[in-house]
Amino acid sequence: MRIGELARRTGVSERSLRYYEKQGLMTAERTPGGHREYGEGAVDRVIRIQELFAAGLCSEKIAQLLPCMRDSDGGPSRTANGQLVSDLTVERERIDRMIADLFRSREVLDEVIEAASVPAE
């Protein structure tokens, strides 16, 4: 599939897809004319990338992380080295804190929403 379809199917803009490639997060075959040609696996990969971005990881970390992931289709290709494991552990802790924060904030929102839905009292 080409970039337009991939964008449609993942909900990620073409601009971002090209950016991901430039950041080394994904590759694409090229047609003789230079247009990107993606395999089916690209969809999952893009979604995974988006999730990691949303989790606050930067391009660089994601780029290091991706080849160590057990991909849905293929093999795990690589094992993380010590430095990467150390970095990822830090990220993991950050994510834990973020989750805790989100729970608290969600609770706050719920209280306010709840209070508004019970005007009496």
CA distance 1 to 98: 36
Tell me the pairing of strands 36-37 and 29-30.
antiparallel
CA distance 94 to 74: 29
List interacting residues with a second copy (CB under 8 A).
48, 51-52, 54-55, 57, 65, 68-70, 76, 79-81, 84-85, 88-89, 91-92, 95-96, 98-99, 101-106, 108-113, 115-117, 119
Longest dimension (CA), the chain: 71
Site string for DNA, 42-71 (x = CB under 7 A): --------x--x----xx------------
Partner interacting with residue 111 (select from a second copy, DNA, none; CB below 5-8 Å by kind): a second copy
Partner interacting with residue 119 (select from a second copy, DNA, none; CB below 5-8 Å by kind): a second copy
